[in-house]
């Protein structure tokens, strides 16, 4: 099971008009600890720039990631899984957060529903929200990344 950390990286970015602007971008990293998350994002960002600082590392509650190779944005879907307590006949909802890659809101919904088609559990979507996450880096299990 993945352990996702949101990292924020601050660096000078050359804009389309040629100007240089200080930006902070968010990246998601699968790591075992805060230290490993910081080391992993440093390794990934070093490919793009040599001058950067990591301004934040925080644990997320993301349970799963649905990828779409053409999607260039990341959407956070909060979904409630519905279960029924057999003794009391009371409906219980447990909230999960799933990150979905897509180009737009409709595609995020479609990709989420496609990813959920094999589930037998009842669920309802609470929210779908575009995130500021730029990229997602899986655990490095033999050199394979997102």
pLDDT of residue 143: 46
Q: What is the pLDDT of residue 9?
A: 97
* The pLDDT of residue 139: 81
pTM above 0.75, yes or no: yes
* pLDDT reported for residue 99: 97
Which pLDDT score is estimated for 31? Answer: 95
Q: In the numeric block, which tokens belong to residue 24?
A: 């902070």
Question: Which stretches in the chain have pLDDT values below 50?
Answer: 142-146
Sheet holding 133-137, edge to edge: 52-59, 4-14, 20-30, 133-137
User: What's the CA gap between 42 and 92, in Å, rounded?
Assistant: 41
């Amino acid at each position: 099971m993945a352990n996702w950390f949101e990292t924020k990286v601050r660096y000078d970015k050359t804009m389309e008009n040629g100007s240089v602007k200080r930006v902070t971008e968010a990246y998601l990293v699968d790591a075992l600890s805060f230290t490993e998350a910081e080391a992993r994002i440093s390794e990934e960002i070093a490919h793009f720039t040599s001058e950067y600082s990591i301004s934040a590392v925080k644990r997320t509650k993301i349970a799963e990631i649905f990828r779409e190779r053409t999607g260039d944005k990341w959407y956070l879907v909060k979904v409630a899984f519905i279960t029924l307590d057999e003794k009391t006949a009371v409906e219980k909802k447990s909230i999960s957060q799933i990150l979905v890659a897509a180009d737009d809101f409709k595609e995020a919904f479609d990709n989420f529903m496609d990813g959920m088609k094999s589930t037998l559990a009842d669920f309802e979507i609470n929210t779908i929200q575009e995130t500021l996450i730029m990229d997602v880096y899986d655990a490095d299990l033999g050199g394979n990344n997102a």
